[in-house]
Amino acid sequence: MSTSDPNKLITKADKLTKLSFTRWTADWRSATVLYEQAANAFRLAKDYEKAKTAYEKASKGQEMLSSPWDAAKHMESAAALAKELSNWREVADFYRRASELYIECGRPQPASDALAKGARALEDTMPEEAIQLYTDACTVLEEDEREQMAFDLYRAAANVYIKLEKYTDAASLMLKLGLAAEKSNAINSQCKAYLSAVIIYLYAHDFKQAEKCYNDCSQVDAFLSSDQNRCASKLLAAYTDGDVEEIKRVAQSSTISHLDHVIIKLARKLPTGDVSALKGRTAEGEEAPLDENDLT
């Protein structure tokens, strides 16, 4: 059968799934084998459009045979081919469907992995969709109490937000990463996430939000006694003093050098605006909020 024309295999398989006067029940088992053979043949021939369609049909066949695992695998193959064809909407839809099928057979890790594959494929062409896929992948893991497996996904989604210059959203994801890390007792990752959020706000030249973020995060004992907390405190103090050189010095510190590459790049560009106005503001009697930073 492997030497048969894959187009003929598809035609034969389609007939097996259609009811007629002579066929009262669909023969999905035989049809699915033919769809799989055709898909492999089309892919080897680099006829990706027909291979994609054949994998879709093979996936449907495995669903009809109550085999969601194999159905999911075929759907992932269809998604990979959609990526080759730059059919980005199908990439998202197929990886989502694959994820649903993995969930159906009780496999949250591959379900999350499928969503993450789709997200990575769409970062440049459909960044908002990529972020949603990353977020959904995190949710799948967290619902299965596997928060620690979601750390890299949160970082990846935050990086896409940064590329889009949506800094508030990026910082919010870093705070979610911090919460996931706390649930996993991953204190170092938690503290890095909180410092990263402060840096993102500062890069967006939103000192007020950076300060609020710092104060909120300092309610967490693990962060309060951390190197990351001291680094954030020094940055905010330098902003308060309008000390550009001190800001640059802190941004070069080893604590920041151990953060994610994208965050390091933001930190090394600080300050992004005029900090002299902040010094003037504190001189006018707004010291009180900054006194909360002195938590040592």
Q: Is residue 67 part of a domain?
A: no
Rounded mean pLDDT of the chain?
93
List CB contacts of 24: < 8 A, sequence separation 6 or more: none
| Token digits of residue 45 | 């021939």
Split at pLDDT 50, 70, 90, the class of 293 is very low
Give dist(CA 73, CA 62) in Å, integer. Answer: 10
% pLDDT > 90, the chain:
88
Residue 277: predicted pLDDT: 74
Q: Is residue 111 part of a domain?
A: no
Q: Is residue 177 part of a domain?
A: yes
Q: Is residue 236 part of a domain?
A: yes
Number of domains in the chain: 1
CATH number for the domain spanning 197: value is 1.25.40.10
Q: Is residue 171 part of a domain?
A: yes
Q: Is residue 143 part of a domain?
A: no
pLDDT tens per residue across span 249-267: 999 999 999 999 999 999 9
The domain of 188 spans 165-273
Give dist(CA 153, CA 131) in Å, integer. Answer: 9
Asked if 126 contacts 88 with a C-beta cutoff of 8 angstroms, the reply is yes
Helices marked H in the chain: 6-17, 28-44, 48-64, 68-84, 88-104, 108-122, 127-143, 151-163, 167-183, 187-203, 207-217, 221-224, 227-240, 244-251, 254-257, 261-268, 276-283, 287-291
Q: Is residue 138 part of a domain?
A: no
Q: Is residue 206 part of a domain?
A: yes
Split at pLDDT 50, 70, 90, the class of 35 is very high
pLDDT at 1 over 70: no
Give dist(CA 224, CA 232) in Å, integer. Answer: 10
